[in-house]
Structure 1
Amino acid sequence: MKLKTYRIRKPKVVVIGGGTGLPVLLKSLRNQSMDITAIVTVADDGGSSGELRESITTMAPPGDLRNVLVSLSDMPQLYADIFQYRFKKEDKFLANHALGNLIIAAMSEMRESTYEAIQLLSTMMHVQGKVYPSSDQPLVLHAVFKDGTSVSGESKIAEHRKTIDHVFVTQACGATPKAARKVVTSILEADLIVLGPGSLFTSILPNLMIPEIGEALLQTTAETVYVCNIMTQKGETEHFSDADHIKILHQHLKQPFIDTVLVNTEKVPEGYMDFEVYDEYLVQVTHDFNDLRAQGCRVVSTDFLELRDGGVFHDGDKVVEELLRILY
């Protein structure tokens, strides 16, 4: 049994993912006495991030990194609002760009490294924890469908509405991606590793498909927790149960590595979801606890639901409460 030395020090918690779910969890984790490391996907190629990575081809996409920095920062709300401000669509060449994305782009160019830019911004923004891009190079996400066809580009995958067989990542030049500095060490030294919440194929797996990161997850002695999505996603996880999510994760790393799964069992009220705003979501993920246990997972099932703004989210405080139980 691993000696829990963090009884006399801050436990080291590594959270891996991207999208909108990761900042929700990190914001709640920030209030705990923990040594937090966020490892953030760099395969996004849509919206403001996509436009910027086309303009500065050596820069990792900034959008997910921007949101994570804000979630872990204790800077005044006005500063956060300025950093998160998104220009109006009629503002010509600035249209839809978040100011923080432009700042990250500028600093990445100044330092000739997105990794270095994020470390400098972490200091400036009083970030409580460490934020690392999963790779210092922008990555291209590729999806291979069950029918044998394939597509390249994170933003294009869901458009096809096909069943995904597997995904993989490359550098823009086609080379094998490498993990950013300190990412692998953080995973190997962690007491707890949390995957998600976030899109399975486009926010979580792009990190794991970097060979060094996948290997580190198989080697680590830390408890590895998957926060299962509440809703299925169009063109990604249609008709998925919670057990299907785990099968996909294990298939991609070619062996079981998830120890515990957090599953929401609270029902979303009928007619609550605003599907015009949240058009990527379909129905609630179904449950197959027997299959989860057959795959070697401990299951924690309870109410993790937060309803706001016509959308369905994880309640970060409730998730962290369970993570603390696992740790201690």
Structure 2
Amino acid sequence: MHSAPKIVVIGGGSGQPIILKGLKKCHVDLTAIVTVADDGGSSGALRNYLNMVPPGDVRNVLSVLANVDEEIIDVFQYRFNSDDDMLAGHALGNLILASIAEQDNSIFSAVNRLSKFFKVQGNVFPVADEPLILHAEFTDGTVLDGESAITAAGKKIKHVWVTPQFTLDEHRLPEAPSEVVNAILNADIVVLGPGSLFTSIMPNLMVPNVAEALLATRAKVVYVANIMTQKGETDGYSDADHVRAINEHVGERVVDAVIMNTAPVPDDYIDWKKWNEVSKQVISDPEHVRSAGAVPVVGNLLELRDDGAFHDGDKVAQLIMKIAEAKNID
């Protein structure tokens, strides 16, 4: 049997678990690197109350990669009702992560312990062992701090960056643990996305030693292009525009291939009130993807469910595996 390819998936939000769930079924050595810049919902409240890394995205990744009875995961993922006073809206798994992180004084250690409890397939690494603040400069020249505020602004973003939330040195840069850097350097494939470009993917890439590792690695860097644009943030963006934004933020061309959906999203299917952050289908532009220095890898990757448009994680995983097995992707 061939050795399992080492695949690292970088991201956050709801898109990353979909891809991880598909890759979990494949013969792979899997690592998930998860953003720690979220400041909304239960994660944001715990972050503010306990001065801890927001646990929500990490919790969802652990749940997907766990190899325990589904009943255990259902309990871990349980969210308290909105009328439960101080527990309202909190996911039980977030509270468990918070308690272990407080006990160990480290979210990285807490995730490692829970990974063993849940018999996680592969590795789950928060991109930093401290909460990060996401900052954005918009094209109108204004600046906002905080992922939730940036998303709510609904304005076109020019540039984002991250800083440590708690520091006495305003010049101190965030730093990923050595496990994160080594996973990227030793990978065969590094997958970016899918997910909100500026608020789920970029916060990871803006950690300086993560960007350096992406530029130094011999791995093929694959971007899974979003199916839908996000209001304000990426309105009118093609898949090539997403690639250019990633390359510009990292500082050099880093994306080698782009996995792109070819199936049209029916206009009358999406519940626009339920999925109020999305706007229109991302413009497919293989020619300009090539001009950005990346190879288009296309397929019908659309899954219509819950009145929304999502990636079919199994189909995306199959394309990632084909890239991993190929000697070249030109």
Q: Same fold (TM over 0.5)?
A: yes
Q: Unaligned 5+ residue runs, structure 1?
A: 1-6
Shift of 1:158: 2.2
**Which amino acid is the alignment partner of residue 310 of structure 2?**
F
Match of 1:204 in 2: 201
Q: Which moved more, 1:157-166 or 1:194-203?
A: 157-166
Match 1:306 to one of 303, 306, 312: 303
Q: Which moved more, 1:279-288 or 1:117-126?
A: 279-288
Answering whether residue 58 of structure 2 is matched by residue 29 of structure 1, we say no
Q: How many Å separate the matches in 2 of 1:177 and 1:222?
A: 23
Q: Which moved more, 1:119-128 or 1:270-279?
A: 270-279
**Which amino acid is the alignment partner of residue 229 of structure 1?**
N
Answering whether residue 271 of structure 2 is matched by residue 278 of structure 1, we say no
Q: Note the 1:134-283 alignment, pairs <5 A.
A: 134-172=127-165, 173=167, 174=170, 175-283=172-280
Shift of 1:226: 0.1
Match of 1:98 in 2: 91
Match 1:42 to one of 12, 36, 42: 36
Match of 2:110 in 1: 117
Q: How many Å separate the matches in 2 of 1:200 and 1:116?
A: 28
Q: How many Å separate the matches in 2 of 1:203 and 1:267?
A: 24
Match of 1:69 in 2: 62
User: Could you say what secondary structure the match of 1:197 adopts?
Assistant: coil
Q: How many Å separate the matches in 2 of 1:218 and 1:120?
A: 31
Answering whether residue 48 of structure 2 is matched by residue 51 of structure 1, we say no
Tell me the percent identity: 51
User: Could you say what secondary structure the match of 2:59 adopts?
Assistant: helix
Q: How many Å separate the matches in 1 of 2:177 and 2:87?
A: 30
Contact 1:12 1:189 in 2 (8 A): yes
Q: How many Å separate the matches in 2 of 1:103 and 1:236?
A: 33
Contact 2:151 2:199 in 1 (8 A): no
User: Could you say what secondary structure the match of 1:182 adopts?
Assistant: helix
Match of 1:13 in 2: 7
Match 2:324 to one of 298, 323, 327: 327
**Which amino acid is the alignment partner of residue 156 of structure 2?**
T
Q: Which moved more, 1:165-174 or 1:220-229?
A: 165-174
Shift of 1:270: 2.3
**Which amino acid is the alignment partner of residue 131 of structure 1?**
V
User: Could you say what secondary structure the match of 1:237 adopts?
Assistant: coil
| Structure-2-length-normalised TM-score | 0.96
Q: Which moved more, 1:217-226 or 1:155-164?
A: 155-164
Q: How many Å separate the matches in 2 of 1:238 and 1:287?
A: 14
Match of 2:328 in 1: none
User: Could you say what secondary structure the match of 2:178 adopts?
Assistant: coil
| 1:200-240 CA distance string (max 9 Å, x none) | 00010000000000000000010110000000001211111
| Structure-1-length-normalised TM-score | 0.96
Shift of 1:11: 1.1
| 1:67-87 CA distance string (max 9 Å, x none) | 000010111111111000000
Contact 1:192 1:223 in 2 (8 A): yes
Q: How many Å separate the matches in 2 of 1:54 and 1:70?
A: 24
